[in-house]
Amino acid sequence: MKLTKNNLDLMKKVFEIKPCVVLRAKYSQACTPEFFKFYDENINVGDHKVLDVEDYGRFISTRSSRREPAITRVITSLAYKVDKKMISLAEGMPNEGVFPFKKLSMDMKKGGGIMMEGKELAAALQYVPSQGLPSLLTELRKFQEDIHRPPDVPRDLMITNGGQHGIYQCAELLLEPGDPIVTTEYAYTGLHSTLKPYQPEILGVPEDNDGLIPETLECILEDRLSRGLKMPKMMYVIPTGSNPTGTVIPVERRMKIYALACKYDFIIVEDDPYMFLNYSGRPIASFLSMDKAGRVIRLDSVSKVVSAGLRGGWVTAPSPLLERLQLHSQAELLHPCTLSQAILLKLVQCRETLGSYLKSARDLYWSRRDALHSALQPLEGLADWAVPDAGLFFWLRVRDVDDVYSMIHTAFERGLMLVPGQAFIYDSNASCQYIRLTFSKIRLEDMSTASQILSEVIRDEQKKSLEKEPKRYATES
Ligand SMILES: Cc1ncc(COP(=O)(O)O)c(C=O)c1O
C-alpha cells in the first residue's frame, strides 16, 4: 500500500492505529472515597442527541481541520505498540545510552518516595506519543472513570502542559476569528490572553454567589437566536472555585447549563483546577459526569495541588475532538515533558497516597481561607465579599469607588500587591470595582497588616471619590 502523507484514514489503516479509545465504565463497586466523587447517581439530564462524527465537524475550526498527522509521530506511537522483536530503522529517537542520568529519586514529605533508574528512567527521558506516556494515559483513564463516571460516549484523554495549554488548544480547536464565546462576566486572565488574537465576541454572563446564572445565559442565547446572530460554539467555565470570583456552581445549575448546551448547540469547556480545593465538604458532580451527549471538554491540572512547575494536566474530550487536539500537540511541542509525566504516573498510581496529599492541600488552603476572612474584618463597611467555598480567591467589591485601578498603585507604593478586577475583564480598559485577593502564599502573620493597608487605601480612595462627586456618593453610601 502506498503511503500518502495527507490522508489520516489511510495512515490509520496502514498502522492499524486507533488514536482514540472509548472510556468505558470499568469502575468496580469497591468504595470510592467521597473525596474522589465528582458524580451523582441521582442526576438525570434528560435525553439529548448524542453527537456523532459528522456533528463535530461543525465545531472544528478551519485552522484545526487543516492539521494533518506527522508520519514520524505516527511511527513513534506505533513504536510503543509493536512487538519488541520488530527491527526498526524508522524512529528518530535518541539512543538511551547517551542520557547522562543514572538514577532519580525524590523523597516525599509524608514518607516513601519516587525512584527511577535503569530502563524505567531511560523511558522517562525518551520521546513518547503526542497523546502522552501510554502508562499514564491508562492510569488516568481509570482515574477519570472512577471519579467522574462519565456516560458511555466515545471519548479519551491526552496529556497537556497544564490547564493553560488545554485552554489554548480548545480555542484553536473550536474558534474562528470573531466568533462569539460564552464565559463569565469576569473570567480567568489566561482565557483572555488566549482569545485576543481571535478578536472574539465575548458573551460574559453575570454571576451571583452561585456562579454563572443559567437563566441569564438563556436570555442572552434566546435574544441572539431571535435576532439571527451567530451562535456560540464554545462556553468556558470554571465550575469549582472560579478564578477570580471564587464561586462554586451548584449541581442544579450545572444541569441547567448542560441542558442549554444541548438546546443551543455548544461545547462546554470545563476548566477545573480547583476541584479538590472544595471547602464545603459536599462532592459536586462535574459537567463531564453528566455528559450524555458528548458536549464536554474537561481540563484537569495538578498545578494548584501537587506542583505548578511539573506542568501536569490532561484534557478529556469526545474522540473526534481529541483526535484533532493530538494533531495540535504534534505540531506545537511533540508531547509534554516525559519526565513530568512519569512523576505524575507515580503519584496517581497510588490513589490512597494521592488522596492523603490532596486532602492536606485542601486543609492547608481551607485554614488559610479562614485566616484571611478573619483578617479582613477591618474592611467591613468598606467592601463586600462572600467567603469562597472553593479555590484560592476572595473577590472584593470596593464600595463607593468606580474604578480600583489607581488604588492598586497606591497600595503598591504602601507595600501591598493586589490584582485589580480589570485583569479579569476582556476589555482591560474598562472600569472595575473589584479586586482579587489570593490566600495561597501570603504569610499568615502578614494577613492583618495587608488588611490594614487595604482598608486605609480604600478609605483614601473613597474620600477622593466623594470630593469629586459629593452628591452621588453621599446618596449611595
Ligand atoms: C482557572 C485556571 N485555569 C488554568 C490555570 C493555569 O494553570 P496551569 O498551571 O494548569 O496551566 C489557572 C491558573 O491560575 C487557573 O486559575
The CA 65 to ligand 1 mean position distance, Å, reads 27
Nine cell digits for residue 400: 463607593
For residue 315, what is the enclosing H or E element?
strand 312-318
Give the integer Cα–Cα distance in Å for 54 and 66.
Answer: 16
Strands 267-271 and 296-301: parallel
- For the chain, domains (ranges, CATH) are 33-82+114-349 (3.40.640.10), 364-476 (3.90.1150.10)
Residue 444 gets which letter from DSSP? G
Quote the pTM value: 0.91
Give the 3-state secondary structure of residue 397: strand
Which phi and psi angles does 445 have, rounded to 5°?
A: -70, -10
The CA 312 to ligand 1 mean position distance, Å, reads 11
Ligand 1 atom with minimal separation from the 313 CA: 10
C-beta atoms surrounding 452 within 10 Å: 15
* Residues flanking ligand 1, CB < 6 Å: 162-164, 188, 190, 238, 243, 271, 273, 301, 303, 308, 313
* Mutate-to-test residue for ligand 1 from 237, 243, 441, highest number of ligand atoms within 8 A of CB: 243
pLDDT, one tens digit for every residue, the chain (477 residues): 233 444 445 444 433 334 334 443 333 333 346 889 999 999 989 999 999 999 999 999 999 999 998 888 788 888 888 888 888 888 889 999 999 999 999 999 888 899 999 999 999 999 999 999 999 999 999 999 999 999 999 999 999 999 999 999 999 999 999 999 999 999 999 999 999 999 999 999 999 999 999 999 999 999 999 999 999 999 999 999 999 999 999 999 999 999 999 999 999 999 999 999 999 988 899 999 999 999 999 999 999 999 999 999 999 999 999 999 999 999 999 999 999 999 999 999 988 889 999 999 999 999 999 999 999 999 999 999 999 999 999 999 999 999 999 999 999 999 999 999 999 999 988 999 999 999 999 999 999 999 999 999 999 999 998 888 776 665 544
CB 187 within 8 A of CB 200: no
Q: How far is CA 83 from the centre of its chain?
A: 37
Give the integer Cα–Cα distance in Å for 259 and 255.
Answer: 6
* Dihedral sign computed on CA atoms, order 44, 47, 52, 57: negative
Q: How far is CA 104 from the centre of its chain?
A: 30
